Amino acid sequence: MSRMWNFTSGLFKSEIREFQVMFWSFIFPLILYFILTSVFGSLYGDDTQGISFRVGIVREESLSGLGMILDKVIEDISSENGPFVKKEYGSVDEALIDLKEGKQDIVLVIPEGTSAKIASAAVLQTGEVALRVHYISGKDSSSIASNVLSEIIDEVNLEIRRQSGGEYVDVVTEAKTVSAREEKPFDYREYIFPGVALMMILSVALFNSPIGLIQYRVSGVNKKLYTTPLKPLEYFAGHFAKLIFTMLISLTLLYLTAIFVYNVRGPILDIRFILTLLFSMVVTISFGLMIASFSKKLSTVTVLGQTLYQLMMFLGGLYFPVFHLPWGIRWLVYALPTTYLVELSRRVMGYQFAPVSLFWLILVPIIWTAFSTVIFVINFKKVMGYE
């Protein structure tokens, strides 16, 4: 037992002394969690301060009378709490140049005669005022900005009707998510936690494990180990324990960040959620051993590892739901074990994104584990370099 413990501790210390392992296993998951919550957290939260669009304003006339309602709207949307940052232009051409050069997301043109048309529309209850919004087709920020402005103008029209007197029925709206827990709003930081955790587990399983095995073989370390009393089972138990230890340390750091920095609690502390992460470790480690058994050289294992890592990360639904992708690629989503592992973790948290029952969420990863283990056992001698 102490022999195995010494071997495991030696393997672990040897591994974490490498900068690459320290960074990718321990530090990168925290950086990724920070990046994803910073970038996408604002899209889902109540605080929309993170997103702002740039609007160029061109006034072909100075607004007066009832037309000043537009001035008020523009001030509101470009205020501290508004979604826009405005810049006034003297001419449409000047504004369009900046739009095309990416300095503005949209250009709003208030045409000549707007004030008169608003007054006429209000008094005569006929006619309308057309504002022109120039946007860049195909550019996300531009299209979204133009849609946001259209929605704001819709609200302005309703407010004008509301203020004009008479009976007014306010339509109340409520949003409910069918995939999230009902009792609280969607928390992106909670949603992305299993994705980042699984990314970390995947990187250790697909890189640290097979690269370590192949490196020991090609460098001749295995041959030296065969001359020692260490048994093959002890070797693998040590290797497996080292990987689990690495993953647990990284997971602990991730948990501490989520709990103390982002105040994520509840579901991630549920014992069932933790068990799904342990299950994921076993499945992905076996997958990594299978990769090692297909690779003769370090370069092969690097190529296989990188390719599978990217595919399993993105197509596995770790960061974005993937069941709307075209069938040309969606079959791959159903084939990958990470799809089921991350959905299982999220299902335990109360979410449901995949049209897959709990039975398949457990069975498919078990099938992958069994298959990977069998492949590895068959190729065991080749992996270890036994002569």
Partner 1 sequence: MSRNSLKPVFIAFAKEAFRNRLEIFFTLFYPMIFLLLFGFFFGGSESYQKVSVGLYQTGPYDISAVIEESGAWNLRLYDGETDIGEAVKNGDILLGMIFNGEKITYLHQEGNLEQQSTIEMARASISAAVEKEINNARSFIVVENIPETAGRIHATDADYTMSGVIAISLLSAGMFSVISVFGRYRKRGVLDRFKITPLRPFTFVLGSTLTRFLVSLVSIVLILVVSRLLFRTTFQIDWLPFLVSILSSTLGMMALGLFLTLLFRNPETADAAASILMVIVVFFAGIYFPLSFLPDYLRVISIFLPVKYVAELIRHSLGIEFVSTSYFVITNLVLFLSGVVLLYFTGKRYLSAS
CA distances from 384 to 137, 243, 252 (A): 57, 17, 32
Nearest to 293 by CA among 375, 361, 219: 375
User: Residue 186 or residue 255: which is nearer to partner 1 going by CB?
Assistant: 186
CB of 5 or CB of 23, closer to partner 1:
23
Tokens of 297: 């050289």
User: Which segment (167-175, 215-223, 260-268, 374-382) binds partner 1 by CB under 8 A?
Assistant: 167-175
Query: Interface with partner 1 includes 5 (CB under 8 A)?
Result: no
Rounded to a whole number of angstroms, the minimum distance from the CB of residue 195 to partner 1 is 10
* 237's tokens: 């138990």
Q: Does the footprint of partner 1 cover residue 228 (CB under 8 A)? A: no
Nearer to partner 1, 38 or 228 (CB): 38
Q: How far apart are CA 239 and CA 43, in angstroms?
A: 42
DSSP state of 352: -
> What is the C-alpha to C-alpha distance for residues 263 and 45, in angstroms, rounded to an integer?
14
Contacting residue, 63, 96, 241, 274, with partner 1 by CB under 8 A: 96
Q: How many residues bind partner 1 (CB under 8 A)?
A: 98
Residues 259-318 binding partner 1 (CB under 8 A) are 299-300, 302-303, 306-307, 310-311, 314-315
Among 254, 312, 252, residue whose Cα is nearest residue 283: 312
Token pair, residue 333, equals 């989503």
**Site for partner 1 (CB under 8 A): which residue of 55, 129, 197, 205?**
129
CB 191, min distance to partner 1, A: 5
Site for partner 1 (CB under 8 A): which residue of 136, 197, 206, 375?
136
Tell me the angle at which helices 140-163 and 68-77 cross, rounded to the nearest 10 degrees.
130
Binding mask 7-26 for partner 1 (x = CB under 8 A): ------------xx--xx--
- Residue (50 or 266) nearer to partner 1, CB: 50
User: What's the closest the beta carbon of residue 268 comes to partner 1, in angstroms?
Assistant: 16
- Per CB under 8 A, the list member of 62, 64, 91, 177 interacting with partner 1 is 177
Q: Say which DSSP state 268 is in.
A: G
Closest CA to 247 of 219, 218, 207: 207
* Residues 57-86 interacting with partner 1 (rule: CB under 8 A): 70
Q: How far is the CB of 270 from partner 1 (least distance, A)?
A: 19
What secondary structure, in 3-state letters, does 219-262 show?
Answer: CCHHHHHHCCCCCHHHHHHHHHHHHHHHHHHHHHHHHHHHHHHC
- From the CB of 316, what's the least distance to partner 1, in Å? 11
- Residue from 9, 14, 141, 222 touching partner 1 (CB under 8 A): that is 141
Give the sign of the dihedral formed by CA 71, CA 77, CA 80, CA 84. negative
Shortest CB 168 distance to partner 1, Å: 6
Show Cβ contacts of residue 338 under 8 Å, excluding neighbours closer than 6 positions.
198, 202, 284, 312, 313, 316, 317, 318
d(CA 274, CA 280): 10
Does residue number 53 form part of the binding site for partner 1 (CB under 8 A)? yes
Residue with Cβ nearer partner 1 (121 or 362): 121
Three-state DSSP at 321 gives coil
Binding mask 323-362 for partner 1 (x = CB under 8 A): xxxx--x---------------------xxx-x-------
- Of 16, 63, 116, 122, which lies in the binding site for partner 1, with binding defined by CB under 8 A? 122
